[in-house]
């Protein structure tokens, strides 16, 4: 005698297995809302660097002396743009 259809027990086991697999993917570490927020913030910061729009950054200046060929010295004023929160610390020096 051939079996052509699923029994109720086989159907319940299959549905339970699918629910466990789908729930596992939903709560897996592959998608983390906090990481997504950090990624979006880093993307915005990168765009700010490209556009030289430093409104989200703190700005400090620093004087640096560079000696070239052991004879010639040059004084530069560098600006440090810095962003810092609990997960991200980022800075950039600019002349």
Which pLDDT tens digit goes with each residue over 32-89? 666 678 888 889 988 988 888 888 899 999 999 999 888 899 999 999 999 998 888 9
Q: Specify whether the CB–CB gap between 83 and 45 falls below 8 A.
A: yes
Model pLDDT for residues 4-22, shown as the tens digit of each residue: 666 888 888 989 999 998 8
Which two structure tokens, joined as six digits, stand for 56?
A: 């989200």
What's the pLDDT at 2? 63
- Using the predicted structure, report yes or no on whether residue 30 has a pLDDT greater than 70: no
- Using the predicted structure, report yes or no on whether residue 31 has a pLDDT greater than 60: no
63 SS3 class: strand
Q: Residue 10: in which H helix or E strand, if any?
A: helix 8-26
């Amino acid at each position: 005698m051939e079996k052509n259809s699923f029994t109720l027990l086989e159907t319940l086991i299959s549905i339970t297995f699918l629910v466990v697999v789908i729930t596992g993917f939903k709560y897996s570490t592959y998608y983390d809302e906090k990481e997504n927020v950090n990624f979006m913030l880093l993307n915005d910061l990168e765009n700010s660097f490209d556009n030289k729009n430093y409104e989200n950054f703190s700005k400090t200046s620093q004087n640096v002396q560079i000696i070239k060929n052991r004879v010639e010295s040059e004084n530069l004023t560098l600006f440090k743009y810095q962003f810092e929160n609990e997960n991200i610390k980022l800075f950039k020096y600019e002349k």
